[in-house]
């Protein structure tokens, strides 16, 4: 803990640089290399979250940060976003956590002292209607940029073409779709019948077409990791009614992307990480899509609803084509866990998502053909 940083944060929160007695607890053991650690720091009557980012060695091949501002995982992007004030310009009920201090450290890392959201409701326990509300807040915020009400930012550290870069290292298992042995495990036979193979290969083959559809969609400011663990409901912000704001954390990938891209991302992630049951995925999609379009309309965006539908479906179909091959790899190698759950439990939850992905791909192709 850096005493000078703590004193500055205490001054802001309590009016005195003396924090008094305080305690620190690690609350997240990160895999991504740009996040060194996250802690909750508490004192008498105050609590903050300390997030330290830096260029670490990397502990996972898919999550290695880069030094250049044009890297999809530029290590300092979140700190730049808070320092620039860009996140504070969000409108329509979507906001970032308050940032009390961005501090450069002697070792080259950067400390972010942020609002503690422990008292708010995390999306990991939300009902579909609260997802709908969050999607509407997102639509309002992004619609302001898509409609031109707010100028689109152009800072060099903002990510661009993020999804293409994210997808590049995730093709490693695609070849398994063509291997009969991959489909011949007990898990695959139960949950992923081999007849899905050609459709899954076609989904991957259409990836560039889906990405092209996103490229043709109006640009907006995107979070690019819209995941339930990053969303919180604010019960009474600024004296407004219950649930009138959504707080969005972890802006490590923030950049310029497609209208609809973030909204699409939220749906599979909610099921793949076990926050929404797989049987509810279509209902969740409808709630998010309806809320998002309503938010865009609130913000004055008057484009065709089919464009939003295409962007959401294309984003889903493009981003998650690697899921089924990853399942085949886990079964083939006899792994005991997948995504930190027993492998059989993950297969049961993920198999319906695979079919949902295929439906999204088919619908995206239909919309492209009709456009």
**Domain at 3-115: CATH code:** 3.30.200.20
245-266 residue pLDDT tens:
999 999 999 999 999 999 999 9
Mean pLDDT of the region 61-87: 89
Give the pLDDT confidence score for residue 308 in this predicted structure: 97
Written as six digits, the tokens of 139 are: 């639509």
Dihedral sign, CA of 17, 20, 25, 27?
negative
Helices (H), 74-127: 77-84
Coil/strand/helix, residue 321: coil
| DSSP annotation of 152 | P
Residue 29 has pLDDT above 90, yes or no: no
102-136 residue pLDDT tens:
999 999 999 999 999 999 999 999 998 999 999 99
Residue 57 has pLDDT above 60, yes or no: no
Mean pLDDT of the region 292-312: 97
Give the pLDDT confidence score for residue 177 in this predicted structure: 95
Which pLDDT band, with edges at 50, 70 and 90, does 34 fall under?
confident
Mean pLDDT of the region 311-338: 97
The sheet carrying 35-43 orders its strands as 22-28, 35-43, 46-53, 110-115, 99-104
132-172 residue pLDDT tens:
999 999 999 999 999 999 999 999 999 999 999 999 888 88
205-250 residue pLDDT tens:
999 999 999 999 999 999 999 999 999 998 754 444 445 899 999 9
The sheet carrying 121-122 orders its strands as 94-95, 245-248, 231-234, 121-122
CATH 2.60.40.420 applies to domain 121-370: no
Half-sphere exposure (Cβ direction) of 316: Cα atoms closer than 13 Å:
33
Q: Dihedrals φ, ψ of 49, to 5°?
A: -110, 130
Domains of the chain by residue range: 3-115, 121-370
Residue 183 has pLDDT above 60, yes or no: yes
């Amino acid at each position: 803990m850096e005493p000078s940083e703590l004193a500055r944060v205490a001054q802001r929160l309590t009016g005195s640089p003396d924090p008094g007695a305080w305690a620190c607890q690690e609350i997240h053991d990160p895999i991504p290399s740009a996040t060194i650690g996250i802690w909750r720091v508490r004192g008498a009557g105050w609590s903050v979250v300390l997030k330290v980012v830096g260029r670490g060695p990397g502990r996972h091949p898919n999550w290695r940060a880069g030094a250049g501002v044009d890297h999809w995982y530029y290590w300092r992007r979140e700190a730049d976003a808070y320092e620039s004030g860009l996140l504070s310009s969000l409108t329509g009920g979507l906001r970032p956590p308050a940032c009390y201090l961005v501090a450069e450290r002697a070792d080259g890392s950067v400390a972010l002292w942020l609002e503690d959201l422990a008292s708010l409701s995390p999306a990991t326990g939300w009902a579909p209607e609260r997802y709908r509300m969050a999607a509407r807040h997102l639509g309002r915020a992004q619609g302001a940029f898509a409609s031109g009400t707010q100028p689109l930012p152009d800072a060099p550290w903002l990510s661009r073409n993020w999804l293409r870069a994210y997808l590049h290292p995730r093709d490693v298992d695609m070849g398994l779709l063509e291997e009969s042995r991959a489909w011949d495990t007990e898990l695959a036979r139960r949950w992923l019948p081999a007849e899905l193979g050609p459709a899954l290969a076609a989904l991957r083959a259409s990836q560039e077409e889906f990405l092209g559809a996103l490229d043709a969609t109006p640009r907006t400011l995107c979070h690019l990791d819209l995941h339930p663990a990053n969303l919180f409901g604010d019960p009474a912000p600024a004296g407004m009614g219950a649930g009138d704001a959504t707080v969005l954390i972890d802006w490590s990938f923030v950049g310029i992307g497609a209208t609809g891209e973030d909204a699409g991302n939220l749906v599979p992630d909610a099921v793949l990480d076990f926050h929404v049951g797989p049987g509810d995925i279509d209902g969740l999609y409808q709630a998010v899509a309806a809320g998002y379009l309503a938010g865009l309309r609130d913000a004055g965006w008057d484009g065709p609803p089919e464009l939003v539908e295409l962007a959401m479906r294309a984003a889903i179909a493009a981003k998650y084509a690697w899921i089924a091959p990853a399942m085949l790899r886990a079964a083939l190698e006899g792994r005991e866990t997948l995504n930190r759950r027993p492998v059989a439990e993950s297969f049961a939850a993920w198999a319906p998502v695979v079919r949902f992905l295929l439906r999204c791909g088919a619908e995206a192709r239909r919309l492209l053909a009709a456009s």
